[in-house]
Amino acid sequence: MVTVVGVAYRGGIPLENIEVDFAVEPVERADYPASLGFGVREVVRLKGNLSETERVRLQRAVRYCPVGQALTKGSMVVEDEVQWLSGEVTAASPVPESLRPLEGNLPAIVPGSVHGRYLLDTKEYDADGGMSDEGEAKIYVTTENLTHTSRWTVLAGHSSEGWVPPPFPTAQAAWAASTATTLSRLLPFEDAGDAESLRVELGMSAPGGRGQAQGNAAAGTVSYRNAVRRIVAPGSPRTMPIETIQAALLRDPISIAYREGGVVLDEQVVID
Amino acid sequence: MTQPASSSAASQTQRNIIARPVGEDTVLTLIGAGGRGPWPFVTGIPNLTSDIGGPPPQYLAVAAWAA
């Protein structure tokens, strides 16, 4: 949402408001048969007196926002490395083509929904009246847990004081969490407490900043971003071989989306 | 080939997002370690015995996408 707000502002497009709905569902991946991925059905609602040209420009921005590019267009260039608690560190990319995904059970992906509202009154202006920060979005998340339905709210966006995290780092936090979840479930730990000594660390490049990202979104240009993902693993290369860790990473749902895309099952942009 | 810590090119990149498991069903992730923030997130996984500690990671990714 904040990318579209920024594109509209920079392009002088009279966008008055925006809302987004995602329905999330499990999807079995043919290319990774041992994995259950996730798919989304997306509806974006734009409010404003928009011309056809403006609608097309904003629709393109919807498709090419930085997080959408990472999840659907292969924009993430990932370099993996592993550091064992014994001290050794080694590159874990590229993965040998012959390596098979590690067997084992991953958490179920349950159906649910994500509803996003743009918080209009959080938009910030500079002394000349120009927009300095796009403001915040409030996101309502609902999932069907195996016990009962669960709900959370998440705030993200662009604020000068850093009240909320920007969307792209939030998405990478999700990737780190997904990686940690996947490895903690699949790796053959020697002791029960070893999983808690696991750590996933991410470092990102930020090519061009926010203005460049919005320009790319408006133009429909894929902006590649480099990421270093370090797995800090218990044990040593002998007790936790690099191939085992690489094979487990092949099962991670968000990593699969970064490599293969395919999470968009349906998308609509509606003008109100 | 393994190397001593901090000698590879990748090791020189500042890592500012850190995630670690807490218990069996929860991961704590921090954005901004050493930079802006910090912004913590708790993610969880569906299970039969207790409520989820936070949204599953895929849902946090989609929430970020929505934002």
- Whole-number pLDDT of residue B6: 45
Which of A67, A115, A205 is opposite residue B65, by nearest beta carbon?
A: A67
ipTM of the complex: 0.95
Q: Do B46 and A141 touch (CB under 8 A)?
A: no
Question: Using one digit for the tens of pLDDT, what is the confidence trace for A60-117?
Answer: 999 999 999 999 999 999 999 999 999 999 999 999 999 999 999 898 888 999 999 9
Q: Is the Cβ–Cβ distance between A119 and A138 less than 8 Å?
A: yes
Residues of A in contact with B29 (CB under 8 A): 173-174, 176-177, 180
Which of B6, B14, B30 is opposite residue A203, by nearest beta carbon?
A: B14
Which of A68, A173, A199 is opposite residue B65, by nearest beta carbon?
A: A68
Longest dimension (CA), chain A: 64
Provide the number of structural domains found in chain A. 1
Residues of A in contact with B18 (CB under 8 A): 176, 199-202
- Whole-number pLDDT of residue A267: 94
Q: Do B4 and A88 touch (CB under 8 A)?
A: yes
What is the torsional sign of CA A56, A167, A23, A17?
negative
Mean pLDDT of B4-12: 49
Which of B14, B20, B62 is opposite residue A22, by nearest beta carbon?
A: B62
User: What would the two tokens of residue A271 be?
Assistant: 């003008």
List, in sequence order, every residue forming a beta bridge with A124; answer none if it has no partner. Answer: A133
| Mean pLDDT, rounded, of chain A | 93
Q: Is the Cβ–Cβ distance between A244 and A187 less than 8 Å?
A: yes
Q: Do B61 and A176 touch (CB under 8 A)?
A: no
Which of the residue ranges A150-159, A216-225, A233-242 would you say has the lowest mean pLDDT? A216-225
Q: Which residues contact A100 (CB under 8 A, 6 or more apart)?
A: A247, A250
Closest-CA residue of chain A to B34 = A203
Nearest-10 Cα torsion for A159, A227, A185, A91: -150
Q: Is the Cβ–Cβ distance between B56 and B26 less than 8 Å?
A: no
- Whole-number pLDDT of residue A80: 98
Q: Do A203 and B55 touch (CB under 8 A)?
A: no
Coil vs helix vs strand at A261: coil
DSSP conformation class of A194: G
- Whole-number pLDDT of residue B46: 84
Q: Which residues contact A94 (CB under 8 A, 6 or more apart)?
A: none
- Whole-number pLDDT of residue B34: 57
pLDDT at B52 exceeding the cut of 90: no
Q: How far is the first Cα of chain A from the last one, in angstroms, to the nearest whole number?
A: 16
Question: CA A7, CA A90: separation in Å to the nearest integer?
Answer: 41
According to DSSP, the β-strands at A199-204 and A225-233 are antiparallel
